[in-house]
Amino acid sequence: MPVAWMIGLPAVLVIAALLTWVARQYALRRNLMDQPGERRSHGVATPRGGGIAIVLTLLLATAAAGLAWPGGRVALLVFGVGLVMVAGIGWWDDHRPLPAVRRLLVHLVASVLVAALVWQASGNPVQAVLALLFTVSMINIWNFMDGINGIATTQAILAGLAFAAVMPMPFALAGAVLALACLGFLPFNYPRARIFMGDVGSGALGYAIAALVCLASVVTEVHWLLLLVPLSAFLVDAGFTLLSRMLSGQRWMEPHTQHLYQRAVKGGMSHTSVTGMYFVFGLFSITVFNACSDLQPRWEAAVAVAWLIFATGLWLLLRKGMRN
């Protein structure tokens, strides 16, 4: 490993941790607090907005990558602009709540930037449209699932490591940087939450992970269905919870506590235990992903479908048990 990487990667971890500490001091001074409530899973007022540390760390890493690889500067700039857009609207929403439609419009524009990068790299307009839809979905899924201590951050760490393992250098560094930036934030949020990520962090993290998946889709031969496996815990819980709310006629965009992880906490499990369970499932998911990433495309797709069916069945079983 070059000396620059040996210095740079640990620096990502340290910078993220320091910036999280600064973000906490800012939130305390501004009284930027998440209050307990019926639609929340925490019981004490807690500072929010700590995810800005992850965002700033990723932006610094993006700038450093642009200096190291001049040929990728345009793509890195486009990604950085999209990240700033998603984080910026989240930061605004953390300070002064915004209408959902306004946030969604910004998410769409940022997702178009990712789609444009995919189109430029692949020459495939269908793949670009799928990238757009996927990115919009991931921004909101990570926001929905960021409801208890450590759950969104640990799943992002696992995803970053999983994709880093299958991508060639220097692209693999994107996954490693994402994982390290999240790891720097994690001690402030898990097992005891001294600060929450906030919309500035959760939406931006979803955007960054979507961009990472899209990058993997153009620099590797891994089937796009298999690329979903490391994200299956969140995709299944968020997707089927949203579907059930829509089918029952509920206002699905409103805050709620109906996700499986929220039901588990409401049922008496600790944040630590629930996050741990999702982490263990995530470990199995990335193990399946990495073990099967060198198969023929049809077998990769078959494994992915089988895993997603298994995850759905497990979700239905656990949800039924908690309802009873």
Nearest 10 degrees: Cα torsion 235, 192, 84, 178: -70
For the segment 292-298, the average pLDDT, to the nearest whole number, is 93
Question: How many structural domains is the chain composed of?
Answer: 1
Point out which residues pair with 47 in neighbouring strands.
33
* Average pLDDT of the residues in 69-85: 95
Average pLDDT over residues 44-65: 92
pLDDT of 213 over the 90 cut: yes
pTM metric for this prediction: 0.93
Per-residue pLDDT at 45:
76
pLDDT at 41: 56
| DSSP state string for 42-85 | -SS-EE--TTHHHHHHHHHHHHHHHHH-GGGHHHHHHHHHHHHH
* Residue 296 main-chain phi, psi, to 5 deg: -65, 150
For residue 239, give its domain range: 3-323
Mean pLDDT of 13-42: 84
Question: With bands split at pLDDT 50, 70 and 90, how would you rate the model's confidence at 9?
Answer: confident
Percent of the chain with pLDDT strictly greater than 70? 91
Cis peptide before 191 (omega within 30 of 0): yes
Q: Has residue 221 got a pLDDT over 80?
A: yes
DSSP secondary structure string for all residues of 238-295: HHHHHHHHHHTT--TTS--S-SHHHHHHHTT--HHHHHHHHHHHHHHHHHHHHHHTTS
Q: Given a cut of 90, is residue 4 above it in pLDDT?
A: no
| Residue-averaged pLDDT of the chain | 90
The whole-number pLDDT of residue 282 equals 96
Cross-strand bridge partners of residue 34:
46
Cα–chain-centroid distance for residue 104? 17
User: Does residue 145 contact residue 259 with C-beta atoms inside 8 Å?
Assistant: yes
Q: For residue 256, what pLDDT is reported?
A: 65
- Checking if the pLDDT of 253 tops 80, the result is no
Residue 7 pLDDT: 76
Which of 39-53, 116-130, 184-198 is predicted least confidently?
39-53
